[in-house]
Amino acid sequence: MLIFGGSASQPLAEKVAKELGQEAGKLELKRFPDGEKYLRVHDEVKDRDVAVVQSLYRTPDENIFELLLLIDTLRDLGAKSITAIAPYLAYARQDSRFYPGEAVSSASIARLLESAGTTSFLTIDCHLHRLGDVAKVFTIPARNLTAMHELGKYARDHFNPKKPIVIGPDEEAGQWAEVVAKELDAESTAFKKVRVRKEGETGSKVTVDAGSVELKGRDAIFADDIISTGGTIAEAAKACKKKGAKRVFVLCTHPVLAQGALKRIKAAGAVKIIGTDTMPSPISKVSVAPVIAAALKT
Ligand code: R5P
Protein backbone atom coordinates (compact mmCIF):
# COMPACT_ATOMS: atom_id res chain seq x y z
CA MET A 1 0.00 0.00 0.00
CA LEU A 2 1.27 3.46 -0.88
CA ILE A 3 0.72 6.16 1.78
CA PHE A 4 0.19 9.81 0.84
CA GLY A 5 0.05 12.73 3.27
CA GLY A 6 -2.05 15.79 2.52
CA SER A 7 -0.60 19.16 3.48
CA ALA A 8 -2.22 18.95 6.94
CA SER A 9 -0.59 15.61 7.78
CA GLN A 10 2.64 15.18 5.81
CA PRO A 11 4.86 14.41 8.86
CA LEU A 12 2.30 11.95 10.25
CA ALA A 13 1.98 10.19 6.87
CA GLU A 14 5.77 9.86 6.74
CA LYS A 15 5.79 8.29 10.21
CA VAL A 16 3.03 5.86 9.19
CA ALA A 17 4.96 4.91 6.04
CA LYS A 18 8.10 4.39 8.14
CA GLU A 19 6.18 2.12 10.52
CA LEU A 20 5.22 0.09 7.44
CA GLY A 21 8.83 0.02 6.24
CA GLN A 22 8.38 2.25 3.21
CA GLU A 23 8.57 5.84 2.01
CA ALA A 24 5.51 8.06 1.69
CA GLY A 25 4.19 8.79 -1.81
CA LYS A 26 5.20 12.05 -3.47
CA LEU A 27 2.68 14.81 -3.91
CA GLU A 28 3.13 18.29 -5.23
CA LEU A 29 0.77 20.79 -3.65
CA LYS A 30 0.88 24.51 -4.34
CA ARG A 31 -1.37 27.43 -5.14
CA PHE A 32 -2.33 29.05 -8.40
CA PRO A 33 -2.11 32.85 -8.29
CA ASP A 34 -5.87 33.11 -7.76
CA GLY A 35 -5.71 30.98 -4.59
CA GLU A 36 -6.93 27.71 -6.13
CA LYS A 37 -5.01 24.55 -5.30
CA TYR A 38 -2.61 22.76 -7.65
CA LEU A 39 -2.14 19.06 -6.97
CA ARG A 40 0.06 16.53 -8.74
CA VAL A 41 0.71 12.88 -7.82
CA HIS A 42 4.28 11.88 -8.65
CA ASP A 43 3.92 8.12 -8.13
CA GLU A 44 2.35 5.52 -10.37
CA VAL A 45 -0.89 4.52 -8.60
CA LYS A 46 -2.68 2.55 -11.32
CA ASP A 47 -4.04 -0.70 -9.86
CA ARG A 48 -2.39 0.00 -6.50
CA ASP A 49 -3.90 0.17 -3.03
CA VAL A 50 -3.36 3.66 -1.67
CA ALA A 51 -4.05 5.47 1.61
CA VAL A 52 -4.29 9.18 2.22
CA VAL A 53 -3.65 10.77 5.62
CA GLN A 54 -5.24 14.19 6.09
CA SER A 55 -6.35 15.42 9.50
CA LEU A 56 -9.20 17.91 9.35
CA TYR A 57 -8.09 20.37 12.02
CA ARG A 58 -7.96 24.15 12.41
CA THR A 59 -8.72 24.95 8.74
CA PRO A 60 -11.17 22.06 8.32
CA ASP A 61 -12.85 23.31 5.17
CA GLU A 62 -9.56 23.78 3.35
CA ASN A 63 -8.26 20.41 4.55
CA ILE A 64 -11.46 18.65 3.51
CA PHE A 65 -11.39 20.14 0.01
CA GLU A 66 -7.76 19.10 -0.49
CA LEU A 67 -8.59 15.59 0.71
CA LEU A 68 -11.50 15.34 -1.74
CA LEU A 69 -9.34 16.65 -4.60
CA LEU A 70 -6.64 14.11 -3.79
CA ILE A 71 -9.03 11.17 -3.51
CA ASP A 72 -10.79 12.07 -6.73
CA THR A 73 -7.43 12.40 -8.51
CA LEU A 74 -6.21 9.03 -7.21
CA ARG A 75 -9.43 7.42 -8.42
CA ASP A 76 -9.03 9.11 -11.79
CA LEU A 77 -5.44 7.80 -12.02
CA GLY A 78 -6.73 4.26 -11.56
CA ALA A 79 -5.95 3.44 -7.90
CA LYS A 80 -7.40 0.05 -6.98
CA SER A 81 -8.55 1.05 -3.48
CA ILE A 82 -8.38 4.33 -1.58
CA THR A 83 -8.35 4.42 2.21
CA ALA A 84 -9.02 7.90 3.56
CA ILE A 85 -7.49 8.46 6.99
CA ALA A 86 -8.73 11.54 8.84
CA PRO A 87 -7.10 11.12 12.27
CA TYR A 88 -9.21 14.08 13.44
CA LEU A 89 -12.60 14.03 11.77
CA ALA A 90 -13.92 17.57 11.73
CA TYR A 91 -17.66 18.14 11.76
CA ALA A 92 -18.25 14.88 13.66
CA ARG A 93 -19.82 16.71 16.59
CA GLN A 94 -22.73 17.91 14.48
CA ASP A 95 -24.19 14.43 14.19
CA SER A 96 -27.78 15.48 14.88
CA ARG A 97 -30.26 18.17 13.88
CA PHE A 98 -30.49 19.90 17.26
CA TYR A 99 -32.61 22.78 15.90
CA PRO A 100 -34.80 22.70 12.75
CA GLY A 101 -32.94 23.30 9.50
CA GLU A 102 -29.42 22.73 10.90
CA ALA A 103 -26.86 20.78 8.83
CA VAL A 104 -26.10 17.24 10.01
CA SER A 105 -22.49 17.84 9.02
CA SER A 106 -21.05 14.44 9.96
CA ALA A 107 -23.33 12.77 7.40
CA SER A 108 -22.48 15.40 4.76
CA ILE A 109 -18.74 14.79 5.16
CA ALA A 110 -19.22 11.03 4.88
CA ARG A 111 -21.25 11.43 1.67
CA LEU A 112 -18.63 13.75 0.16
CA LEU A 113 -15.74 11.35 0.94
CA GLU A 114 -17.63 8.41 -0.51
CA SER A 115 -18.66 10.20 -3.67
CA ALA A 116 -15.05 11.32 -4.29
CA GLY A 117 -13.99 7.65 -4.44
CA THR A 118 -13.01 6.62 -0.91
CA THR A 119 -13.32 2.87 -0.55
CA SER A 120 -12.61 2.63 3.19
CA PHE A 121 -12.23 5.10 6.03
CA LEU A 122 -10.24 5.34 9.25
CA THR A 123 -10.37 7.90 12.03
CA ILE A 124 -9.21 8.09 15.65
CA ASP A 125 -11.26 8.64 18.81
CA CYS A 126 -14.04 10.14 16.82
CA HIS A 127 -16.64 12.20 18.61
CA LEU A 128 -19.98 10.63 17.81
CA HIS A 129 -21.92 11.01 21.04
CA ARG A 130 -25.30 10.11 19.70
CA LEU A 131 -24.40 7.63 16.93
CA GLY A 132 -21.75 5.73 18.85
CA ASP A 133 -20.09 4.19 15.78
CA VAL A 134 -18.51 5.90 12.80
CA ALA A 135 -19.57 2.92 10.65
CA LYS A 136 -23.16 4.17 10.98
CA VAL A 137 -22.32 7.38 9.10
CA PHE A 138 -20.63 5.69 6.12
CA THR A 139 -21.81 3.03 3.68
CA ILE A 140 -18.19 1.95 2.98
CA PRO A 141 -16.12 0.10 5.65
CA ALA A 142 -15.26 2.68 8.33
CA ARG A 143 -13.35 2.19 11.58
CA ASN A 144 -12.76 4.31 14.64
CA LEU A 145 -9.33 3.58 16.16
CA THR A 146 -8.15 4.71 19.57
CA ALA A 147 -5.02 6.48 20.79
CA MET A 148 -5.89 5.85 24.43
CA HIS A 149 -3.51 2.86 24.84
CA GLU A 150 -0.60 5.04 23.65
CA LEU A 151 -1.68 7.92 25.90
CA GLY A 152 -2.01 5.54 28.85
CA LYS A 153 1.50 4.18 28.26
CA TYR A 154 2.83 7.75 28.14
CA ALA A 155 1.13 8.54 31.48
CA ARG A 156 2.56 5.37 33.01
CA ASP A 157 6.09 6.18 31.84
CA HIS A 158 6.15 9.96 32.46
CA PHE A 159 3.65 11.00 35.15
CA ASN A 160 4.75 8.73 37.98
CA PRO A 161 1.20 8.98 39.38
CA LYS A 162 0.42 8.33 43.05
CA LYS A 163 -2.87 6.58 43.94
CA PRO A 164 -4.09 7.42 40.42
CA ILE A 165 -7.65 7.57 39.23
CA VAL A 166 -8.40 8.03 35.54
CA ILE A 167 -11.42 10.21 34.85
CA GLY A 168 -13.57 10.88 31.81
CA PRO A 169 -14.74 14.48 32.17
CA ASP A 170 -18.15 13.42 30.83
CA GLU A 171 -20.05 10.18 30.43
CA GLU A 172 -18.91 9.51 26.85
CA ALA A 173 -15.29 9.85 27.94
CA GLY A 174 -15.75 7.06 30.49
CA GLN A 175 -14.82 4.53 27.74
CA TRP A 176 -11.47 6.29 27.15
CA ALA A 177 -10.75 6.59 30.86
CA GLU A 178 -11.22 2.82 31.15
CA VAL A 179 -8.63 2.11 28.45
CA VAL A 180 -6.08 4.47 29.99
CA ALA A 181 -6.75 3.04 33.46
CA LYS A 182 -5.92 -0.46 32.22
CA GLU A 183 -2.49 0.71 31.03
CA LEU A 184 -1.88 2.18 34.50
CA ASP A 185 -3.49 -0.65 36.40
CA ALA A 186 -5.68 2.02 38.03
CA GLU A 187 -9.34 2.70 38.77
CA SER A 188 -11.50 4.76 36.39
CA THR A 189 -14.66 6.81 36.59
CA ALA A 190 -16.61 9.43 34.63
CA PHE A 191 -18.01 12.78 35.65
CA LYS A 192 -21.34 14.11 34.44
CA LYS A 193 -21.29 17.11 32.11
CA VAL A 194 -24.12 19.38 31.05
CA ARG A 195 -23.49 21.53 27.98
CA VAL A 196 -26.03 24.19 27.15
CA ARG A 197 -26.06 25.67 23.65
CA LYS A 198 -28.79 28.20 23.01
CA GLU A 199 -30.60 28.31 19.67
CA GLY A 200 -28.69 30.49 17.20
CA GLU A 201 -25.38 30.30 19.11
CA THR A 202 -22.25 28.25 18.27
CA GLY A 203 -20.58 28.62 21.68
CA SER A 204 -21.83 26.82 24.77
CA LYS A 205 -21.54 26.74 28.55
CA VAL A 206 -20.42 23.67 30.45
CA THR A 207 -21.03 22.49 34.01
CA VAL A 208 -19.40 19.35 35.44
CA ASP A 209 -20.60 17.21 38.33
CA ALA A 210 -17.86 15.10 39.98
CA GLY A 211 -20.36 12.93 41.87
CA SER A 212 -19.33 11.04 45.00
CA VAL A 213 -15.95 9.67 43.92
CA GLU A 214 -13.17 9.93 46.56
CA LEU A 215 -10.29 12.10 45.28
CA LYS A 216 -8.57 13.37 48.42
CA GLY A 217 -4.78 12.97 48.17
CA ARG A 218 -5.01 11.18 44.81
CA ASP A 219 -3.57 12.04 41.40
CA ALA A 220 -6.36 12.55 38.86
CA ILE A 221 -5.68 11.83 35.18
CA PHE A 222 -8.30 13.04 32.71
CA ALA A 223 -8.78 11.26 29.41
CA ASP A 224 -10.85 12.87 26.66
CA ASP A 225 -11.09 12.81 22.89
CA ILE A 226 -10.87 16.55 22.21
CA ILE A 227 -9.67 19.64 23.97
CA SER A 228 -11.25 22.46 22.04
CA THR A 229 -11.75 25.58 24.20
CA GLY A 230 -10.63 23.63 27.26
CA GLY A 231 -13.88 24.56 29.03
CA THR A 232 -14.77 20.93 29.78
CA ILE A 233 -11.40 19.96 31.23
CA ALA A 234 -11.04 23.24 33.14
CA GLU A 235 -14.39 22.75 34.86
CA ALA A 236 -13.56 19.09 35.58
CA ALA A 237 -10.11 20.00 36.95
CA LYS A 238 -11.63 22.62 39.26
CA ALA A 239 -14.10 20.04 40.56
CA CYS A 240 -11.18 17.65 41.26
CA LYS A 241 -9.20 20.26 43.14
CA LYS A 242 -12.27 21.14 45.21
CA LYS A 243 -12.49 17.50 46.24
CA GLY A 244 -8.86 17.48 47.39
CA ALA A 245 -7.12 15.82 44.42
CA LYS A 246 -3.34 16.14 44.69
CA ARG A 247 -2.21 16.61 41.09
CA VAL A 248 -4.30 16.86 37.93
CA PHE A 249 -2.96 15.49 34.63
CA VAL A 250 -4.72 15.69 31.27
CA LEU A 251 -4.58 13.38 28.26
CA CYS A 252 -6.41 14.00 25.01
CA THR A 253 -6.26 12.60 21.50
CA HIS A 254 -7.01 15.77 19.57
CA PRO A 255 -5.40 18.98 20.89
CA VAL A 256 -7.56 21.45 18.97
CA LEU A 257 -6.65 24.10 21.58
CA ALA A 258 -8.97 26.93 20.54
CA GLN A 259 -9.33 30.27 22.30
CA GLY A 260 -6.55 29.98 24.91
CA ALA A 261 -7.44 26.44 25.99
CA LEU A 262 -4.04 25.60 27.50
CA LYS A 263 -3.99 28.73 29.64
CA ARG A 264 -7.54 28.02 30.81
CA ILE A 265 -6.72 24.43 31.82
CA LYS A 266 -3.48 25.36 33.57
CA ALA A 267 -5.28 28.11 35.49
CA ALA A 268 -7.75 25.45 36.65
CA GLY A 269 -4.86 23.53 38.27
CA ALA A 270 -3.63 20.95 35.73
CA VAL A 271 0.12 20.27 35.98
CA LYS A 272 0.61 18.45 32.68
CA ILE A 273 -1.46 18.34 29.47
CA ILE A 274 -0.54 15.82 26.80
CA GLY A 275 -2.04 15.16 23.37
CA THR A 276 -1.24 13.24 20.20
CA ASP A 277 -0.02 14.22 16.75
CA THR A 278 -3.41 13.90 15.05
CA MET A 279 -2.72 17.61 14.79
CA PRO A 280 0.49 19.52 15.53
CA SER A 281 0.46 21.44 18.82
CA PRO A 282 2.81 22.29 21.69
CA ILE A 283 1.43 19.28 23.61
CA SER A 284 1.52 16.69 20.77
CA LYS A 285 3.97 14.31 22.48
CA VAL A 286 2.38 10.96 21.59
CA SER A 287 2.28 9.66 18.01
CA VAL A 288 -0.71 7.87 16.51
CA ALA A 289 1.44 6.53 13.64
CA PRO A 290 1.72 3.03 15.19
CA VAL A 291 -2.08 2.92 15.65
CA ILE A 292 -2.72 3.81 12.01
CA ALA A 293 0.01 1.49 10.72
CA ALA A 294 -1.38 -1.43 12.71
CA ALA A 295 -4.87 -0.79 11.32
CA LEU A 296 -3.57 -0.68 7.75
CA LYS A 297 -1.98 -4.09 8.25
CA THR A 298 -5.30 -5.74 9.16
C1 R5P B 1 -17.37 16.64 24.13
O2 R5P B 1 -18.23 16.06 24.73
C3 R5P B 1 -15.96 16.18 23.93
O4 R5P B 1 -15.74 14.88 24.37
C5 R5P B 1 -15.01 17.14 24.56
O6 R5P B 1 -15.13 17.06 25.96
C7 R5P B 1 -15.31 18.54 24.09
O8 R5P B 1 -15.40 18.58 22.70
C9 R5P B 1 -14.27 19.49 24.57
O10 R5P B 1 -14.63 20.79 24.18
P11 R5P B 1 -14.14 22.01 25.05
O12 R5P B 1 -12.68 21.83 25.24
O13 R5P B 1 -14.48 23.21 24.21
O14 R5P B 1 -14.91 21.99 26.32
Dump pLDDT digits (tens) for 79-109: 999 999 999 999 998 899 989 999 999 999 9
**Residue scoring higher pLDDT (203 or 146):** 146
Ligand 1 center to residue 195 CA distance, Å?
9
Ligand 1 center to residue 292 CA distance, Å?
23
Ligand 1 atom closest to Cα of 261?
12
Ligand 1 center to residue 255 CA distance, Å?
11
Q: What is the pLDDT of residues 108-133, one digit of tens each?
A: 999 999 999 999 999 999 987 777 78
Q: Is residue 192 pLDDT above 90, yes or no? A: yes
Alpha-carbon gap, residue 161 to 184, rounded angstroms: 9
Q: Is residue 203 pLDDT above 70, yes or no? A: no
Q: Between the CA of residue 104 and those of 60, 97, 180, 240, 274, what are the distances in Å?
A: 16, 6, 31, 35, 31
Active site residues: 193
User: Does residue 228 line the site of ligand 1, with CB under 6 A?
Assistant: yes
User: Does residue 225 line the site of ligand 1, with CB under 6 A?
Assistant: yes
Average pLDDT on 277-287 reads 98
Strands 37-41, 27-31: pairing is: antiparallel
**Residue scoring higher pLDDT (77 or 202):** 77
CB 222 within 8 A of CB 249: yes
CB 250 within 8 A of CB 216: no
Q: pTM, whole model, 2 decimals?
A: 0.93
Q: In what order do the strands lie in the sheet with 248-255?
A: 187-190, 165-168, 220-227, 248-255, 270-276, 284-286
Model confidence at 71, pLDDT cuts 50, 70, 90, reads very high
The angle formed by the CA atoms of residues 287, 60 and 233, to the nearest 5 degrees, is 60
Q: Name the percent of the chain lying above pLDDT 70.
A: 99
Average pLDDT on 63-74 reads 98
Q: What is the pLDDT of residues 24-37, one digit of tens each?
A: 999 999 999 999 99
Query: Looking at residue 194, what is its pLDDT?
Result: 84
Residue from 88, 106, 148, 227 to probe ligand 1 pocket by mutation (most atoms less than 8 Å from CB): 227
CB 114 within 8 A of CB 140: yes
Ligand 1 center to residue 193 CA distance, Å?
10
Model confidence at 151, pLDDT cuts 50, 70, 90, reads very high
Query: Looking at residue 298, what is its pLDDT?
Result: 87
Q: Is residue 198 pLDDT above 80, yes or no? A: no
Alpha-carbon gap, residue 120 to 55, rounded angstroms: 16
Residue from 224, 229, 279 to probe ligand 1 pocket by mutation (most atoms less than 8 Å from CB): 224
The mean predicted confidence, pLDDT, of the chain is 95
User: Does residue 226 line the site of ligand 1, with CB under 6 A?
Assistant: yes
Q: Is residue 68 pLDDT above 80, yes or no? A: yes
